[in-house]
Structure 1
């Protein structure tokens, strides 16, 4: 009987016989139903497989729509709740599911529908009417999220063309549950109501705002409750788009003064919602009623510290506007209001401080109030010059100087503090392997290669089981896709270790069963034939697409070759100091060992070592290399360590000579076509690029032929094609490489620390090609990795492309990056790693083209960089002076705010170089006042 049943169901599915399948299911009991489960699972897997359509390049699943129609119902009938949830959710028809529900309710059917609704899905195309039907039959107890998601689609007409008729309002009145309570759930549970819209015959958008206005006009719902629900929705934790929509609806109802006064408690309750745009709009409404006698002054003043502490200037400005009105209308509360706004002097933005100063000066008593003076005194160092002049009566002429913190001294790059530790016994080797694939530090990959080679001859049979966890981790990393945590280098390491353990299995044939089992469990014998990525390091094909990866791949292949050949000598390129510096004396010692053993040095190992050798030039090193080394190695190192200037044309010899010449060259090599030469090929100009789009025309239901364009900034940074196959030619990057570089960013930068500027240039070109990291999220994460490396390992002066990168992240949209940029600048000033003038030149060039809005920079200055210490203030003043001198004669947008900030710094005689620039800018009316103050008034000494 079971065999016949299986054959019948297989036949019905193959032929797409839906009605016959339903009739068959009606005759089956629970035991027969569950007995079909394994068959249906096999058929689902079979029909889900993709195959190429004959004679085309198209691929599609094996199952036809008719076959899937039967499979969907069969899965609902036979599967458990867990298996049903794993099935795809599309392709079902309500009428088909209803045919099944007539005689059988699938296991956990209602729970599945509710769980999917919580995950923002509507399984089986469930609609509001069907939800009510399932509820009435006891099949479903709908949760609020389910009600909200089905209700949103109810007014929408069926069929795209009918959208031209707008929403069907009658659908909302058909079910008493909607206006009786369900509609208010829209204000208590998250949804995408702000995106729902229909097109009317006039070509206009009709939204749920129009629906609510229509319902209020018809008196189907209470207007007062709707206003109150809009406000309460702001405290439900909705995102800014949905919160903004709630305020849109609130404002569309045009609340009267009487209604606003009546709802003051509800409005005050929204001040803690954290949605700045929504709060700004509500504060504008408050401004219109703050002069009324019934305005809740105490309630608003109690909330002012919260509002004035906002990071958003529009919220602060809105609050100040209301307080201004209150102080004017109620003079008896003016002194109290002055005390409240005084805390805003902690905000370093000059525009805000001036507004606060004017409010206090206007509404404070004619005679100096001692209590208010005591409130203001702690902010003496924080107040800008204009605000201080306005409130001069409250401050003494002498200002306490900023604290001096002095300058720090960093340990040298080759100090013991920066020395890299390598495993020194089997236990530490095993411990290192347990975390080697987690990308903790950029030099882990180098420690990994050195350790594998060093400990191979020391491993005993008893040590092999301890390698099992690391081997399992290697297979896991090797099988995962490249992502923000796992890079190609991690995959290289994983497959190197897998190959390494296979060699151990050959060496300890009778004692490596544990490692053998792990490898056999994870190996796919078909991968080699498929050209797949899970076979061995030798068969990895994707490294060909990313040239810089060739270096790591070749180094690992060389290391495995040394293991096979039993050449257990230290790798030349293993760094000795963080992040990847190689001590010159150690390089000589290592080459000496190789020459003494009579072994051939790996080409990529040698070139990487020279690219990492710390730039210590001395005759002593030259003499030692000449005495202790032989042949070409002796000549290469003598050239590398020589303190004399060398002819760059020697690079034409190619190979290791190219690498050693480029490594020691300053600042570039004209004879060598290096793909990342900053000054020669990159212009750092900006040009306008027009993007075109075709709007969708709803009336004719197709893309319109009219093109609309907008102008945006794009850097003109032509990229030279790589022309050679030596070490440095593999270090070029394109923008497309960013999507796979993320987890390998630090490793890329540590390949050649001697030429960091060129490596950074390639990254800056790719990251900032379209302005300010507003594209892929991976770009911001890559920038964070670079910034973190600069904070952690930067012992050398910050210059060139590093300065350009620092300027870029100072004003990018990412708050974390901006904070890191300030931290990098503070550290660089403290340890004297940055040239103030050079940084000013970079900033001037950066903003002269208006590549990024200047306002972001001035906001960062005001909030995070002013008055940190005496030394930092001097450094910042020097930087701004040079920056202003390098701006264009045509004033950039936001220049006035920058000039206001510059007024806070002591002027020097060198400022005279700006007079000509100021004279040109003085032709712009909006700048004349601040320019006059700069040229004629004595600056405030802070």
Structure 2
């Protein structure tokens, strides 16, 4: 019987007998439907099968998928599946399942005689875009659907817009009458909008309604009209609007409901009646909500029915808000209450002292005036409270509150003790793995990028693991090899923590697996079969050609960006150790987090290489020297260095640790010496190296000039008035690097001689030649998953890498992508970990200064943390940093408000030492700024004044005084500048 049904069904579908499908479905029993399901699943796949079409064009080959069977056959089999499948099977088989079952065809032809028991559940679960509110209500009225609250709320906002296509033009009409089609809409459904998250606040931004001319939001006007027509209760709408602040809606949606509240214009009596609800709204995280409540409270604050004491007792959260307008409004309301109720004056003054902690001088001054105006001078409690905040008070506030401040002399911030910068501590030591299980566990997680130092450790641990492998434990590596192979055939780095270096590690593991499969063929047969099947599947799906190159040996892998050349070389060197069955540690393997190498351990590693036949990789030793802490050693280290047989390396380390002057050394391997010279940053030694060995060190020392000016950019944009593409010049403020060297003019004969006999510069294998990034149009310049690993290649000399970051990420202060933000956050965190000296070159301070002014708040705050740490450790060139900031802001590289906000919120009043450094910074910065003050310069000058009051012995430079004199011609600055100079 079932076979006959299958044949009949196949005949109906293949001959596309549309009229016969409904009678066929009506006659089959429940048992027959269930029996047909296994056949239908395979048959449905056949009918929906596609094939690949390969097309040639002038751009190359293109591939597309086309259906093997007609749309009529697919429609017929879909109807059969609807009648026979359960919910899970139908949902899995059709991605647009709800669109299908709520279509007019199904509602008219099938639903009248067959409604599956899962019909309503599926519609609620999927919440299809094709289902509108009226159809939802129709299905509900027929008893076919019990709509969930979520479904109703998602459909109702669109109900008042009717969209039609007339003569090919989309026409939208305003149809509020729809809300009265069903009584349940205004009685129940519309109130769900106040309870559930919805799109009511942004659905109609892009609609042009042909019968609606009002300028307000269409739904706000709809609510107002319904309230005025008494179709909705006014008090209920007001109360519901306020209570949305407690529903955990996002900022925009909550703000929309409070716009509705404002448009309804509640009277003073209504505000007083809704006090409890409004007080609960003050706990909202959204400033618009809080400001709106305070706006209405200020209107009724002096009335008897207003709960004044309740407000005073609960306004601490308002006074400590980061939003200035909230704090100001709270202080204004407290002042208003104090005027109207003498009994609460003492409570108000004590509460107002909390605002004295605010970093905004105007807010402090407003709070100080309230305390001075209403406060009792003889109140011991009030004096104690004021004195608690004395250290954070600005000069103007101290002056107003002088009668409340104890002592004639101002207390100063405590002098902070200089912090230790010791790197090689026991708590900072990298854990060492040696057993098979430990190494296996480590290698299994290296592809997940859980630590920035994992790739460094992996280079040494893989050869060590290789020596511990035998026929009994080799199969334990299969999951690792499968993971590496899967990564080789994926684009996982697009949406995970995996970077390009983890892909390199996967290619390396592929080579490792091939080496082991030659030795342990039987034990790794399962993995071999897995790999073969994986490749065959990709070939069948025409995808293998995209990944074929990834299976090449690591030596022949392409390098997408030149910076990866260094790690490529190290991976190859590590593979050679596996092939040689040796387990020498790489010299650069970190011993202390995040990337440092202890000198004693480095010497032990060098001695092991001397006792082997393996040559030291040139990049490995350069990285190792760049990772040596410069000042953490004692005289006993000299004895240890003398144990090295290689005189070149021995003398290099002696020079590095001040046991040997450079001029007395016998320099042969310039690549090793170059790194040591760069790390010590002694200008005499650098010049001696350049002159003696005729190597310019331009790339290694970032010996380039920079400026920040308006640059012209030409774009091809569409002009809507001219209706064509036009070239448009746009000016942008950019950081630009350039060389100041003048080109020597040559005669034509000299040019020919130079071409035929070019002057050869001494060649050095320098890792810095590869710390460069290739800018590509559609690719990220610096991968956020790898950026810190590049920074950690040379923690003693990060200038080269950070200059590249400035060039490609910080050339403009406003970031153009989220990737750039991730880069900045990662790199600043990495720089915080490695910052241990003040003699970094200008490019490092340029990077940090640009970070102070960039558009990302998190990056600015991280940069501030670096400044705080470095100043605490006396590892910062404050004057140089100030000059760089001034040069950047000469043409306002970034918003000046960003800098002044960072000063007040993150940098001011950390300690006396930090404040003095800030004064040095501002002194150098102002000297290099514009003669005409920028916008928000007033705040900078105010801070300078406050710092100058704290350090009256500090003498401003003549350049700064001259600049301030010029600025004083601006009316808003003249008064405070006269007090400074």
- TM over 0.5, yes or no? yes
Contact 1:18–1:69 (CA under 8 A) maintained in structure 2: no
Tell me how far apart the structure 2 counterparts of residues 259 and 330 of structure 1 sit (CA, whole Å): 23
Please point out which of 822, 829, 833 is paired with 1:792: 833
Cα drift, residue 105 of structure 1: 3.2
1:97 is aligned to 106
1:81 is aligned to 87
2:512 is aligned to 500
Give the secondary-structure state (helix, strand or coil) at the position aligned to 2:443. helix
Tell me how far apart the structure 2 counterparts of residues 323 and 130 of structure 1 sit (CA, whole Å): 54
1:189-216 residue CA offsets vs partner (Å, 9 max, x unmatched): 1111111223134887662122223323
Q: Pairwise CA RMSD of aligned residues?
A: 4.4
Q: Quick check: 472-481 or 194-203, which moved more?
A: 472-481
Q: Does 2:27 correspond to 1:27? A: yes
Contact 1:453–1:563 (CA under 8 A) maintained in structure 2: yes
Judged with a 3 Å threshold, the aligned counterparts in structure 2 of structure 1 residues 20 and 125 are, in CA distance, closer, same or farther, namely farther
Cα drift, residue 237 of structure 1: 1.0
2:562 is aligned to 547
Judged with a 3 Å threshold, the aligned counterparts in structure 2 of structure 1 residues 433 and 545 are, in CA distance, closer, same or farther, namely closer
Tell me how far apart the structure 1 counterparts of residues 4 and 577 of structure 2 sit (CA, whole Å): 64
Contact 2:319–2:330 (CA under 8 A) maintained in structure 1: yes
**Equivalences for 1:781-820 in 2 at 5 Å?**
781-797=822-838, 799=840, 800-810=842-852, 814=856, 816-820=858-862
Judged with a 3 Å threshold, the aligned counterparts in structure 2 of structure 1 residues 820 and 843 are, in CA distance, closer, same or farther, namely same
Contact 2:164–2:171 (CA under 8 A) maintained in structure 1: no
Tell me how far apart the structure 1 counterparts of residues 85 and 922 of structure 2 sit (CA, whole Å): 70
Contact 1:622–1:638 (CA under 8 A) maintained in structure 2: no
Tell me how far apart the structure 2 counterparts of residues 768 and 45 of structure 1 sit (CA, whole Å): 55
Tell me how far apart the structure 1 counterparts of residues 330 and 730 of structure 2 sit (CA, whole Å): 36
Q: Does 2:189 correspond to 1:182? A: yes
Give the secondary-structure state (helix, strand or coil) at the position aligned to 1:715. strand
1:202-244 residue CA offsets vs partner (Å, 9 max, x unmatched): 8876621222233234332223322222111122111111111
1:580 is aligned to 595
Tell me how far apart the structure 1 counterparts of residues 49 and 245 of structure 2 sit (CA, whole Å): 45
Q: How many equivalent pairs are there?
A: 916
1:786-816 residue CA offsets vs partner (Å, 9 max, x unmatched): 2322333333337434433433444556554
Greater RCO structure (CA 8 Å; 6+ sep): 1
2:180 is aligned to 173
Q: Does 2:570 correspond to 1:559? A: no
Tell me how far apart the structure 2 counterparts of residues 708 and 324 of structure 1 sit (CA, whole Å): 58
Tell me how far apart the structure 2 counterparts of residues 625 and 849 of structure 1 sit (CA, whole Å): 55
Contact 1:688–1:714 (CA under 8 A) maintained in structure 2: no
Q: Does 2:150 correspond to 1:133? A: no
Tell me how far apart the structure 2 counterparts of residues 614 and 660 of structure 1 sit (CA, whole Å): 12
Q: Does 2:734 correspond to 1:715? A: yes
Please point out which of 527, 532, 550 is paired with 2:547: 532
2:122 is aligned to 112
Cα drift, residue 830 of structure 1: 1.9
Tell me how far apart the structure 2 counterparts of residues 871 and 107 of structure 1 sit (CA, whole Å): 75
Cα drift, residue 32 of structure 1: 4.0
Q: Does 2:966 correspond to 1:920? A: yes
1:44-97 residue CA offsets vs partner (Å, 9 max, x unmatched): 587475744756677654247656545654554444333444432386462133
Tell me how far apart the structure 1 counterparts of residues 832 and 784 of structure 2 sit (CA, whole Å): 18
TM-score by length of 1: 0.85
Tell me how far apart the structure 1 counterparts of residues 428 and 178 of structure 2 sit (CA, whole Å): 72
Cα drift, residue 930 of structure 1: 1.8
1:451-483 residue CA offsets vs partner (Å, 9 max, x unmatched): 111332332333324434544554555446104
2:337 is aligned to 326
1:641-670 residue CA offsets vs partner (Å, 9 max, x unmatched): 9843799x999x9x9999899888868989
1:430 is aligned to 440
Tell me how far apart the structure 1 counterparts of residues 81 and 774 of structure 2 sit (CA, whole Å): 48
1:629 is aligned to 646
Q: Quick check: 256-265 or 703-712, which moved more?
A: 703-712
Judged with a 3 Å threshold, the aligned counterparts in structure 2 of structure 1 residues 540 and 571 are, in CA distance, closer, same or farther, namely closer
1:476-495 residue CA offsets vs partner (Å, 9 max, x unmatched): 55446104411121222233
Q: Does 2:326 correspond to 1:315? A: yes
Contact 2:708–2:733 (CA under 8 A) maintained in structure 1: no
Contact 1:156–1:167 (CA under 8 A) maintained in structure 2: yes
Tell me how far apart the structure 1 counterparts of residues 8 and 678 of structure 2 sit (CA, whole Å): 75
1:410 is aligned to 421
Contact 2:896–2:935 (CA under 8 A) maintained in structure 1: yes
Q: Quick check: 314-323 or 396-405, which moved more?
A: 396-405
1:78-134 residue CA offsets vs partner (Å, 9 max, x unmatched): 443334444323864621332332333346332232233xxxxx3261121222233
Tell me how far apart the structure 2 counterparts of residues 266 and 708 of structure 1 sit (CA, whole Å): 56
Judged with a 3 Å threshold, the aligned counterparts in structure 2 of structure 1 residues 239 and 32 are, in CA distance, closer, same or farther, namely same
Cα drift, residue 274 of structure 1: 1.3
Tell me how far apart the structure 2 counterparts of residues 207 and 590 of structure 1 sit (CA, whole Å): 74
Judged with a 3 Å threshold, the aligned counterparts in structure 2 of structure 1 residues 613 and 869 are, in CA distance, closer, same or farther, namely closer
Cα drift, residue 710 of structure 1: 12
Q: Does 2:387 correspond to 1:377? A: yes
Contact 2:774–2:781 (CA under 8 A) maintained in structure 1: no
Tell me how far apart the structure 2 counterparts of residues 589 and 216 of structure 1 sit (CA, whole Å): 84
2:744 is aligned to none
Q: Does 2:66 correspond to 1:62? A: yes
Tell me how far apart the structure 2 counterparts of residues 681 and 167 of structure 1 sit (CA, whole Å): 62
Contact 2:140–2:146 (CA under 8 A) maintained in structure 1: yes
Give the secondary-structure state (helix, strand or coil) at the position aligned to 1:879. helix
1:644 is aligned to 662
Query: Structure 2: where are the runs of 5+ without partners?
Result: 740-762
1:684-733 residue CA offsets vs partner (Å, 9 max, x unmatched): 44547698987999xxxxx977999997854243699xx99974333212
Tell me how far apart the structure 2 counterparts of residues 911 and 517 of structure 1 sit (CA, whole Å): 76
Q: Quick check: 184-193 or 522-531, which moved more?
A: 522-531
TM-score by length of 2: 0.82
Tell me how far apart the structure 2 counterparts of residues 241 and 134 of structure 1 sit (CA, whole Å): 32
Please point out which of 312, 329, 341 is paired with 1:301: 312
**Equivalences for 1:460-539 in 2 at 5 Å?**
460-475=470-485, 477-478=487-488, 479=490, 481-482=492-493, 483-512=495-524, 526=538, 530-532=545-547, 536=551, 538=553
Q: Quick check: 133-142 or 683-692, which moved more?
A: 683-692
Cα drift, residue 356 of structure 1: 0.8
Judged with a 3 Å threshold, the aligned counterparts in structure 2 of structure 1 residues 72 and 167 are, in CA distance, closer, same or farther, namely farther
1:200 is aligned to 209
Judged with a 3 Å threshold, the aligned counterparts in structure 2 of structure 1 residues 828 and 73 are, in CA distance, closer, same or farther, namely farther
1:121-168 residue CA offsets vs partner (Å, 9 max, x unmatched): x32611212222333344332111111111111111122668655411
2:742 is aligned to none
Query: Structure 1: where are the runs of 5+ without partners?
Result: 117-121, 698-702, 936-942
Give the secondary-structure state (helix, strand or coil) at the position aligned to 1:247. helix
Tell me how far apart the structure 2 counterparts of residues 607 and 134 of structure 1 sit (CA, whole Å): 74
